[in-house]
Structure 1
């Protein structure tokens, strides 16, 4: 990748033959000012164009100063707030004006200095000063000075165990490299920490401040170590070469200088990202805007490429993992909108790469995470091209892209996996914010996809629920695939109920074949029963009832809105559909519990009419059973009107029930005996009418039936059977009074035995009940006495509730009703000699 661009900003002219003593030794920068320290003791002041870069033709020299006849300028540092330029030359630190390069006479030289470091300016103090740290060339100490505009003063000295070789400072923490180790010393707390050893003979010693509270060190094993001021490293080290001359940090990169190149490593993943060739390199100077590379006769400016451009370049090369690492590492340096756009772009490209690698689960997660427009994926599929014709894809192409159209023809199993992915992805984003911007396209694509995959259940579920399918695209597709039932569901979801039901009607009438749904007729009925559009129901009601009256009547009986149709309105419509009329009347009476006489009467007369019309029909008995049930249970029908319709018919049980409803039980029994000639039905009538009545009523009913039997000699056998089979229903005395004298004892022996046994049983049961009542009474009385027999205190003047005398005795009780009473009075009143 390309993180920096290199520009030559200064080049010394070539000298003649012989040893060149004017090579570049050091460099300092401030804003547009560039200061060069040369080997021959000359300081050059250059002015750079805006931005600090530009080629050598745009750099001009504005000043030069010769410090002496010979000797290299070892170090330069500006203190801009004081307009000072500090120079280390000939073993001493002197001060020049940073614009005129004239010496500052008020500041004398600091002698015997091998290197120095200027800390951040303390420009909030009064007077303003900067901190200067100098390393003595003769003693193992670091001196701390305060540099003012016209003076400096030594405020502290820090002793070292060995000679210092390199120095960097962060606030009160001094990072020093000695002959064999790196040290961290806090000069306020006087604490010293050994970090690690180094091999001075085999590697260059590097100690640079790399950030807030962090130092860059050349560690053992040629490792670029980023160490915090507490000695801890939070980042993995950078593995660079053994011949590193200098290093600098320009976040998020570490630049390692070799004699012939600058190698640029990422702090975030510790990988080598770029190599820039340089001839005869000597050092690096990192500024807030650029990094300068110092060579013997040249100065190069390394200008960082915008982070967004770097990330996009990595993304374009499909190095998405590196791009994400870089993006996460520099998130704090980017505007929020820029970060979000870059993150979305990287994630989309990563998802697309995994998509074509058939890593569908990871691809789906990435597409959802980055909020990818679903249309970007839909338009990749050949069969979906007509859905989003006006959409212009923004997603960048990737190298491993596959032609899905070719894949659909040559490798169908793999293409089916791509289809499955599309279905899963669209289903997951369909109800999210990500999918709301293109609801119609998503739903239409899902419908086409389910059609291709022949997923009937998913297809019907999609169109039967609220959806945004485009009718102009989906209707032709459904018709082409002969999915007419689904087409009706689609019409229904769009509120086109007439088109929906008419489509299903065509299926039932076999005008259009659709084998995916078995009972379309019942579906039509259920749909009409749920429909709130009355005019549509009336439009198809005739067709529904003509096909099946019993099932079709459900459009009225199972309708969700019971008040939509008035009964009279339905009656007038059902006049030509008698079976449906009966079903509707049964619904009104048994489910809606109608209390209107006309409904009950109409149902009864309709039953009668059906029975009379179906004399030879196998369903005749079932209708009679329904009629009898209605006559027995209902008390709201008009008995005279119903009786008038069955008077001349053979519906004898029905006649008897009607007589019984008017209290003419004997007449009902006569009808059953003489016209119905059904002995069992007659006995059943007696028992049914006796249900819930007292014993006297039951005796009367059966005695009436016996008398009717005894009136004719033809029914003697029936009378005997009646007595023997229903002995418990008769009063023995009354039976004996009406029995003919001509009957032998043998005929009624069974009846007499059963009757006597029943009489004896009833007498004993009454005695048991009476004794149980006595026991219960005594139990309650005993409980009351236990509650009343308690001594209590009363005031004088109280009288006995029973005898009305003063309570002068020592013992008295509270009666069960709560009144005070003498003990003797209580015993007298509650004497055990009570008769029951």
Structure 2
């Protein structure tokens, strides 16, 4: 059995002393209570009226004074009393009859005669707003199987009905129009208004006492077979589990949320919420219970006890002290309607929190986490129980309840490290789940600092970097030593960065790259560059830009070229060009960025890019003339010279004048219109016939046929003037037969050449000329056909026959159409011929 709780405290406040030496017949049989008035019915037929004075706290009676008494007769037992305050009546069941007395004088009420042959009665609540005021009285007859219904007024009563029963009634209770009756072998529900009855279940009157008691609005408590205290609603449905009562129960009463079951020597108190026994109280010769609005009275043979219920808040706190959190929560939820809202919330939070701590120390971590979150536990309370997890807030006061299964986590960390790891994992999950919620807003620094320590301790690198890479409230002076101790210098830089200390962050990463700090994190240098790309503080960038460029110019230039489009104003192009003057590779990449990506229209940028290419090519040529790097750079230079029209031609020419960059010289001459000179350089100095032909094709692209023929004819003349081999000249002619003008070629070819040499060229050229002429003729004829088709369609539309009647009018001039001089428009409208012509001219 569980520990006996102090739910009710018992105090004897009335005692009936023996009357003499012989057999005492003045023992107590029943009692009634109303507003400090106690009525006692004795075995010898006496009714006592007692006035009860309460203590200063008003919780229990302190002094009892007899106000009056009435002897009902020489014999007979007073078996039932009921006060009717609205009428000032006291109904007394004595010697099988119901008698009405005045509540205060105990004098019989005139006009209210006795109701004979009554074994038990029940008085309902007064009828609301009825005039005159009355109450309903239900009486069970001892001589017939029926219940009688009376209306009791101040000065009279009326019999208003009878309810027939299958057996003799033994006990009853009433709610509105529903009668709950115990007969000699069963319980019955009977609605006397609807005239409907419902058998509930049988009982054994010989082996157990019959109990019919109200337990709430429309609910009755019955002593069912097997000593089950059944709760039955007026419709026959049970909405709560039964209570297992002890054997030999004499009486039972409900004082929410408890059921009190009385034996002769013991009072048992059960919870209606979880059906468990909560308390037992010893009694002597007890026989009945009387539940009032203030308390419960226990009636014994010679005394009456007053049971005072402990305040509900104290009961809940008592359960918590006993660590019966589940019971406390059940009780709290069951009596929520009886408590002020603030009290309920505070108690609920306390119960949930205590249950969470019990589960926490029992290693039921999932339940503990849910309970801590539900109770709104201050995260500092859980942080403070862990070793090395100091609470930062100076105003923190722990509200942690004391529980018997509490563990010393400091000792656990030394003696049982695997178990302590489980507790660390719980703290990590709890703080991570509550981080950013209202629950942790009171102490964000404590939460984030504790999480950082936990991630370090448990090696959760991904969570650690996610924490310090996003906005956080970690306390630097606490976290820095921890990160340094674990040699997490890269993470230290991220922490600096998250708190806007960008210089310290980059300086820390620079020390890693320079080998001054040991950190296994890869990719630190690219991370520095990426950070500088996103940084807007120009002064900080300038402090590190030299260090970056000295390590890698190609990567370092990204600081200027990969900035956000809305952040380009941080560095002006001219400023960057000046700064990169000592870093040729970076300068070249930045100029390419300006020209190709930013589409700069400044002559300076294009010219500087070209001269930078040339400088690099010339310097590289001295070391490795045929290197891939040099070839790639020349291709870039040639593409720039071909496509850009903004650079200064004279400046670039002066730069390459004394160099062997013949292709580039030819491009520049071609830009100046000196195509013959350009071709001479390619043929005579570069000695690259393929480059010469490519020059002609590229220069003549988009130009007219005449320009193309003139340019290739010029190349042919250069070949002939430079004494190129006959084979080279013939190949030029054969490969470009369609491009040359046949007549012009024949004019420049040497007369000594045989027809056989140029036979292939002549055939291809003539074939091309004929093909071109035929194609032009075909195109001309197709155009004629298209024109004829349109004319035919127009004629079809305008010369359609139209049948006219006398009412047909011209759609244009609105006059009547007469004679043949009319036609139909393509739109279907019929008009005069002259109207149609005039419309077309308009």
**Fold match (TM-score > 0.5):** yes
Query: Does the 8 Å CA contact 1:168/1:209 hold for their aligned counterparts?
Result: yes
State the match for 2:368 in structure 1.
363
- Give, in whole Å, the separation in 2 of the partners of 1:309 and 1:685: 103
Contact 1:690 1:698 in 2 (8 A): yes
Establish whether residue 38 from structure 1 lines up as the match of residue 49 from structure 2. no
Contact persistence 2:257–2:271 (CA under 8 A): yes
- Larger mean CA deviation between 721-730 and 202-211 belongs to 721-730
Task: Name whichever of 383-392 and 207-216 sits farther off.
Answer: 383-392
What CA distance in whole angstroms lies between the structure 2 residues aligned with 1:219 and 1:800? 108
**SS at structure 2 position matched to 1:262:** strand
Q: Aligned residue for 2:203? A: 198
* Larger displacement relative to structure 2 (497-506 or 263-272): 263-272
State the distance in 2 between where 1:806 and 1:84 align. 118
Q: How does 1:709-720 map to 2 (within 5 A)?
A: 709-720=719-730
Structure 2 distance, partners of 1:654, 1:207, is: 117
Alignment of 1:247-396 (within 5 A): 247-385=252-390, 387=392, 391-396=396-401
Q: Which residue of 2 aligns with 1:729?
A: 739
1:56 and 1:187 mapped to 2: Cα distance?
A: 40
Distance apart, 1:101 and its partner CA: 2.8
2:757 maps to which residue? 747
Cα distance change of structure 1 residues 522 and 819 upon mapping to structure 2, 3 Å threshold = farther
Is the CA contact (8 Å cut-off) linking 2:61 and 2:306 kept in structure 1? no
1:129 corresponds in structure 2 to 134
Measured after TM superposition, the shift of residue 793 of structure 1 is 6.2
- After TM superposition, the structure 1 stretch with the greater mean CA deviation from structure 2, 604-613 or 770-779, is 770-779
- SS of the residue 2:738 aligns to: helix
Q: Taking structure 1 as reference, are residues 109 and 813 closer, same or farther at Cα in structure 2, changes over 3 Å only?
A: closer
Describe how 1:573-592 pairs up with structure 2 within 5 A. 573-592=579-598
- Residue 43 of structure 1: how far off its partner (Å): 2.2
Query: Which of 565, 569, 572 is the aligned partner of 2:575?
Result: 569
Closer, same or farther in 2 for the Cα pair 1:788/1:383, shift >3 Å? farther
User: For the residues of structure 1 that align with 2:781 and 2:335, how far apart are their CA atoms?
Assistant: 101
Are 1:814 and 2:818 counterparts?
no
CA distance in 1 between counterparts of 2:775 and 2:710 reads 23
Provide the secondary structure at the position in 1 that maps to 2:267.
strand
**SS of residue paired to 1:381:** coil
> Is contact 2:823-2:830 (8 Å) kept?
no
Deviation sequence 1:595-624 (CA, Å, 0-9, x none): 111111121122222222322243222222
Contact 1:800 1:806 (8 Å CA) reproduced: no
2:575 and 2:491 map into 1 onto residues whose CA distance is: 33
Q: Give the superposition deviation at 1:781.
A: 5.2
CA distance in 2, matches of 1:102, 1:797: 123
- Residue of structure 1 equivalent to 2:840: none
* Alignment correspondent of 1:688: 698
**What is residue 3 of structure 1 aligned with on the other side?**
7
Distance 2:141 2:472 in 1: 83
| Mapped contact 1:791–1:811 kept (Cα < 8 A) | no
Distance 2:295 2:154 in 1: 29
SS of equivalent to 1:166: strand
The 1:669/1:350 distance shift into structure 2, 3 A limit, reads same
What is aligned with 1:832?
Answer: none
Q: Aligned partners of 2:236, 2:569: CA distance in 1, in Å?
A: 85
Deviation at 1:229, TM superposition (A): 1.6
Contact kept in structure 2, 1:799 and 1:806, CA below 8 Å: no
Correspondence 1:77 to 2:87: no
**Cα distance in 1, alignment partners of residues 724 and 251 from structure 2:** 138
- The CA deviation at 1:643 is 1.3
CA distance, structure 2, for counterparts of residue 785 and residue 407 of structure 1: 108
Q: 1:98 Cα deviation (Å)? A: 2.1
Q: Are the structure 2 counterparts of residues 754 and 318 from structure 1 closer, same or farther at C-alpha, using a change threshold of 3 Å?
A: farther
- Residues 366-408 of structure 1: per-residue CA shift (max 9 Å, x gap): 2222222222222222231354575332122333333333443
Residue by residue over 1:97-130, the C-alpha shift from the partner in whole angstroms, topping out at 9 and shown as x without a partner, is 3233333344333333222211112363333322
Query: Does 1:668 pair with 2:672?
Result: no
For 1:285 and 1:815, how far apart are their aligned partners in 2? Answer: 110
Contact 1:814 1:821 in 2 (8 A): no
Tell me how far apart the structure 1 counterparts of residues 321 and 40 of structure 2 sit (CA, whole Å): 40
- CA separation of 1:819 and 1:111: change in aligned 2, threshold 3 A: closer
Per the alignment, residue 543 of structure 1 pairs with 547
Report the counterpart of residue 29 of structure 1 in structure 2.
33
Question: Are 2:8 and 2:307, in contact at CA under 8 Å, matched by a contact in 1?
Answer: yes
Distance change (3 Å), C-alpha of 1:643 and 1:438: same
What SS class does the counterpart of residue 6 from structure 2 fall into? coil
CA contact under 8 A between 2:822 and 2:830: conserved in structure 1? Answer: no
Cα distance, 1:350 vs. partner? 2.4
- Seen in structure 2, the aligned counterparts of structure 1 residues 16 and 535 have a Cα distance that, compared at 3 Å, is same
Q: CA deviation at 1:693?
A: 1.9
Q: Note the C-alpha offset of 1:633.
A: 0.7
Cα pair 1:6 1:300 within 8 Å, conserved: yes
- Distance (whole Å) between structure 2 residues aligned to residue 520 and residue 90 of structure 1: 104
8 Å CA contact retained: 1:450, 1:458: yes
* 1:734-775 residue CA offsets vs partner (Å, 9 max, x unmatched): 112211112234433443343344334434444554455455
Q: CA deviation at 1:343?
A: 1.8
Contact 1:9 1:54 in 2 (8 A): no
Match of 1:604 among 610, 613, 623: 610
Give the aligned partner of residue 833 of structure 1: none
TM-score by length of 1: 0.92
**Partner Cα separation in structure 1 for residue 779 and residue 487 of structure 2:** 79
Displacement of 1:295: 1.2
Structure 1 gap ranges (5+) = 827-836
Change in Cα spacing, 1:428 to 1:781, as seen in structure 2 (3 Å) is farther
Partner of 1:231: 236
Normalising to structure 2: TM-score of the pair?
0.91
1:425 corresponding residue in structure 2: 430
Which of 628, 643, 651 lines up with 1:633 in the alignment? 643
| 1:781 to 1:299, Cα distance in 2 relative to 1, 3 A | farther
In 2: Cα distance, 1:220 partner to 1:705 partner: 124
* Conserved 8 A contact 2:611-2:652: yes
TM superposition shift of 1:286: 0.5
Alignment deviations for residues 621-643 of structure 1 (CA, whole Å, 9 cap, x no partner): 22222111111111111112211
Q: CA deviation at 1:473?
A: 0.6
Q: Secondary structure at the match of 2:613?
A: helix
**Could you tell me how far apart the structure 1 residues matched to 2:447 and 2:725 are?**
85
Q: Distance in 2 between matches of 1:782 and 1:356?
A: 102
Unpaired runs of 5+ in structure 2? 838-842
Conservation of the 8 A alpha-carbon contact between 1:11 and 1:56: no
Go from structure 1 to structure 2 and tell me whether the alpha carbon gap of 1:714 and 1:170 turns closer, same or farther (over 3 Å shift): closer
Contact 1:785 1:816 in 2 (8 A): no
**384, 400, 405: which is aligned to 1:400?**
405
CA spacing shift, 1:621–1:265, aligned 2, 3 Å: same
1:678 corresponding residue in structure 2: 688
Residue 655 of structure 2 is aligned to residue 655 of structure 1:
no
How far, CA to CA, are the matches of 2:663 and 2:137 in structure 1? Answer: 127
Aligned ranges 1:459-474 → 2 under 5 Å: 459-474=464-479
Say whether residues 1:558 and 2:568 are aligned partners.
no
Q: What does 1:367-516 correspond to in 2, within 5 Å?
A: 367-385=372-390, 387=392, 391-516=396-521
- Specify which of 530, 533, 547 is matched with residue 529 of structure 1: 533
Q: How well do the aligned residues superpose, as a CA RMSD in angstroms?
A: 2.9
Cα 1:26–1:786 change in 2 (3 A) is: farther
Mapped to 2, the partners of 1:49 and 1:453 lie a distance apart of 68
| 8 A contact 2:255–2:291 mirrored in 1 | yes
Q: Distance in 2 between matches of 1:402 and 1:757?
A: 104
Moved more, 779-788 or 663-672: 779-788
Once the two structures are superposed, residues 399-425 of structure 1 have per-residue CA deviations (whole angstroms, 9 ceiling, x without a partner) of 333333344344444333332322222
